[in-house]
Structure 1
């Protein structure tokens, strides 16, 4: 029993001299050397050299594919690939829709070398957790597994990225259609607000899912965008030279030639209102609220993206200041109970079920918005409360205490998330794919600390100079005001 209990401890390994312990919370249990082979540790190494080995390393192979890694000295490793082939590039460079999300569906669903059952069985034997996620600009493949199984894990990864089983196309398309029908109301509105902001045929506004996508569309999309110069192989908890060798063995022989297409796309903010009539979705695993609700989202555009670190720091701080969540949140440290949408909106309006700030950041354009929910007959008053929350920040500077609290919370979120191996892996992969390098964490923290109350006020005031985008979903949308009325309500004049 004692041996089984020790296996449940976190795989994070701390090294104190030559003694190794597993840690979880405040408990420390000596490692069982019969469970795992301990790492070799040279106590003569200086701390400076040890820190240097933990820094990220990058190698660009002859094919153009980039290999990035960071050593974490744990028994678990996260390896994966990120491809700059999101739906925005599909729309702008292939002229199709739906193929990008099909890549996510076909990931880990078998390959040309083995079927889905064999692939999943072998992943289980490796102690692997499989994941794939499609976004507007990138597709991320990931496998989290025991460090000793990196070689077979890289083989599975290469097959999933470069050799998906197209015979599963129709089955996957049906599964994606089903998952779309089980989306929450908040997820539906978050997609609609992008369509409202950029238009239904734009790279950022087009729907991710297309029921009419064909195998030919999918193959043309992959042949165009799955180019070596758009792929980054990333690993955390892995030796860099080892990762480079496995990439050369399992990826390079099957890579298509470089397409050398631009990694930019044109997008224009064209604010509109998108209303979708529909019944309250039944979300698996959640209690069904029989009462009909209307969910709205109001967003403003910032004409810059990831590459403007200082401006994005202000935008993120505004989101933290607004905060919000559900009316029945349990609270507790770090839950944002002192944020504006809690103290000024949710606490004083019991009829509002939810109010939460959100941001969408892309390469050249970003959105700041608020999503909220209430009964349909309160829809006009709900929009009024949302507009007032934004106006208050634009008209009056936040207090020094409120600003410092938001800074502390934002920095805490950044640092605490980077303690996760999987989040560290994703951050490393996405930054190299987006910037070509990794922004030091200290730069992010300094950018947050440099934000003043005037910066926050000026940013929101400038955003409100342009009309907002608006989206709503629910069975009864008859109580919603027009977009011109919403824009007038939001105006600072």
Structure 2
């Protein structure tokens, strides 16, 4: 999935890339059929399909197709309806019965990195790494995986700034077993000391893999949030700092779970399953309180942090030498920078405009396999990557949450061009307030609409869309609502929103070698404050390369 589309769905559904679509941002919980794993079908299910007793004629085929047309159309209309129920303990149950042979069932929890106030930073990362381990009913991970595989299922866990998701995709004939396994994973997990030790090693491996990667985008994004929301909510780290790994023990994990893994903060969501069987399974397996609420951890639980995100702006710099592995692979020595502005929340009237603006800015790497559909006509391609041979990458992003949002451009270039790169990015941010060509606006709108609709054809994406919308607003708005909102956006809406963002204090991060060549924060503030100076500085960059 393209990164621009991922980021639009992210903003649309609450600040996180669609789950279950593949690494690195999200590991897939695609349907069992699509994954290549066998789909389990019982003999009783096969007997439901009657054998053909008489050959079909052309006339009978046409009449049968005509008879089926109306019910299919009616079902297509009804399958966008989301049914919502609630258990006595506060857990919400949501379902959408769609056409298809598979289902995706999972739990969306209002817990994640932004809720780490009062805890050692990184505890949510360790909790994510310990998912699908031993539980009350399954003595070890292998027993649990065997149960899921017998249902023809696959599974995944992901966390974003404001939510943690546990999901499975399998054959809906095994709905009861799937919900039972989910309840064990979410509410009856042991989180014993050995699993905490193993999770620490997984966290260290994550850091090693990210630092060896040619693209440190996850690290840069975490730095950008730490600069934008200093020491509060969205600024808390997604990845556990290495200095904190050994200080997080089992008691702190259980205290975190007792604070945030509570039924009233959970949504059990099923796509491709009828509502009543899902409610019955929820009553059977989720009606009791989670295990950690009954013990000493429950007594030590603190009040959940419901504070509003405070955008501060600021700077973060991390010097990172060019590794020997990168040199051996002949990867270029690059400085990665990020420049962000406060955007808007999910409920803000400018939210859809921010998504269109993000799509219009677009961007990507200096090499892109593909044609116009891959974003080659976006502004960061035509105005930055195509004009400056030394720019390795330039990518816009827009993340929206319940109370704030962040619009940013991340880019990379050799250290000698880092100052010029900052000039160019500042110029592009200010250029969003100029007259925007009509064809660019229309292209961004159509591309956004088509990508949204195409991705919502995938069951796992619908699962997260439903779960996140209900988690943030208590309801799920259908795709037609969003396509109509996108269609109403005009050029003036984009310019007005860009002017509004430029009033905020910029967030600036730099990561890589030779950071002495990168401009300091005071210089970035000066450029951002004076749009004329920024454009003049960027123009001088253009003149030097002609």
CA deviations 1:99-145 (Å, max 9, x no partner) are 22222111112223220111122222222111111111110110011
CA contact (8 A) 1:106 1:164 kept: no
Match of 1:339 among 348, 369, 378: 378
Structure 1 residue 206: Cα displacement: 1.6
CA distance in 2, matches of 1:38, 1:366: 53
Q: Tell me which of the two structures has the higher relative contact order, counting C-alpha pairs closer than 8 angstroms and 6 or more residues apart.
A: 2
Q: What's the counterpart of residue 239 of structure 1?
A: 274
Where do residues 343-492 of structure 1 align in structure 2 (5 Å cutoff)? 343-394=382-433, 396-491=434-529, 492=531
Q: What's the counterpart of residue 175 of structure 1?
A: 202
Structure 1 residue 34: Cα displacement: 8.7
CA distance in 2, matches of 1:35, 1:360: 47
SS at match of 1:121: helix
Q: What's the counterpart of residue 537 of structure 2?
A: none
Gaps of 5+ in 2: 1-29, 35-40, 51-66, 533-546
Q: What's the counterpart of residue 93 of structure 2?
A: 67
Q: What's the counterpart of residue 332 of structure 2?
A: 291
1:81 matched to 2:107: yes
More moved, 206-215 vs 379-388: 206-215
Structure 1 residue 37: Cα displacement: 3.2
Structure 1 residue 462: Cα displacement: 1.9
1:223 matched to 2:232: no
Q: What's the counterpart of residue 268 of structure 1?
A: 310
Match of 1:122 among 130, 144, 147: 147
The structure where strand makes up a greater share of residues is 1
CA contact (8 A) 2:335 2:510 kept: yes
CA contact (8 A) 1:11 1:74 kept: no
1:301 matched to 2:350: no
Distance verdict in 2 for CA 1:34–1:288, change over 3 Å: farther
CA distance in 2, matches of 1:299, 1:389: 12
SS at match of 1:352: coil
CA contact (8 A) 1:229 1:260 kept: no
Structure 1 residue 245: Cα displacement: 0.8
Question: What RMSD in Å do the two structures reach over aligned CA positions?
Answer: 2.8
CA distance in 1, matches of 2:219, 2:273: 38
Structure 1 residue 67: Cα displacement: 0.4
Q: What's the counterpart of residue 540 of structure 2?
A: none
More moved, 344-353 vs 203-212: 203-212
Structure 1 residue 97: Cα displacement: 2.2
Match of 1:249 among 276, 284, 309: 284
CA deviations 1:404-442 (Å, max 9, x no partner) are 000001111111110101001111111111110002222
CA contact (8 A) 1:182 1:283 kept: no
SS at match of 1:461: helix
SS at match of 1:204: helix
CA contact (8 A) 1:327 1:353 kept: yes
1:157 matched to 2:182: yes
TM-score w.r.t. the length of structure 2 is 0.78
1:330 matched to 2:372: no
Distance verdict in 2 for CA 1:435–1:374, change over 3 Å: same
1:321 matched to 2:360: yes
Q: What's the counterpart of residue 226 of structure 2?
A: 195
CA deviations 1:364-383 (Å, max 9, x no partner) are 11111100011111100111
CA contact (8 A) 1:297 1:470 kept: yes
Distance verdict in 2 for CA 1:477–1:84, change over 3 Å: same
Structure 1 residue 466: Cα displacement: 2.5
The structure where helix makes up a greater share of residues is 2
Number of residue pairs the alignment of both structures matches? 459
CA distance in 2, matches of 1:149, 1:12: 12
Q: What's the counterpart of residue 25 of structure 1?
A: none
Structure 1 residue 279: Cα displacement: 3.4
More moved, 434-443 vs 262-271: 262-271
SS at match of 2:395: strand
Match of 2:122 among 83, 98, 103: 98
CA distance in 2, matches of 1:49, 1:260: 46
CA distance in 1, matches of 2:164, 2:357: 28
Structure 1 residue 147: Cα displacement: 1.6
Structure 1 residue 164: Cα displacement: 2.0
Distance verdict in 2 for CA 1:268–1:281, change over 3 Å: farther
1:205 matched to 2:231: no
